[in-house]
Amino acid sequence: MIQLLINIIIIWYLINNNIPNRYLLFTYKLITKIMSNRYNKSTKSTDLYLRTFVKNLKLPRENVKKKFLKELIRRTNSSRKSRSVISLSKLIKFSLKDTTKSILTVSKILNDERISKTPKLKIFALNFSSSVKKKIIENGGQIFKLNEIKVDDFLNMKILFIRGKKF
């Protein structure tokens, strides 16, 4: 329905601005491509569970911070190249400030060899390296992949939302 309205508006605009017929079809295709990309943003991942996770994030909810959900949707929809990895040392550094909060990050978590002990952490992330999994679980922490959990499980928790370096 929305696409039909957009098409009608584009055709009306092209006709009223006296664009020659030979450019009409080319301009129409170009504009529809731009408009369709703007409104059909979804995750580019082939992982079925991650796709359903993003769809569940987009459902309307009450008593939830809208900015938090928007940012979470934006980060999960980003391409793999724009997602940076985070080291375990950075997570520990931020978790020491507030130990009651769970950590959420939309990236892969990698090991840091310089760290021998880790505190108890509860981490939600896209992926973990195998050595990080061992370290966290041995010290009594919990790890959850974003594509394996329900959205409502972590929306009502106290969460520390961490991102990697910007490129």
Structure token digits, residue 105? 């990050």
pLDDT of residue 4 exceeding 70, the answer is: no
Q: What pLDDT was estimated at residue 96?
A: 85
- The pLDDT-based confidence of 137 (bands split at 50, 70, 90) is very high
Q: What pLDDT was estimated at residue 129?
A: 93
CATH code at 48-162 = 3.100.10.10
- The structural domains of the chain, with segments of one domain joined by +, span 2-39, 48-162
C-beta contacts of 149-154 below 8 A and 24+ residues apart = 149/53, 149/124, 150/56, 151/53, 151/56, 151/57, 151/59, 154/102, 154/104, 154/124
Alpha carbons 167 and 107: distance in angstroms, whole number: 14
Q: pTM of the prediction? A: 0.69
Q: Which residues contact 156 (CB under 8 A, 6 or more apart)?
A: none
Backbone angles phi, psi at 96, to 5 degrees: -70, -25
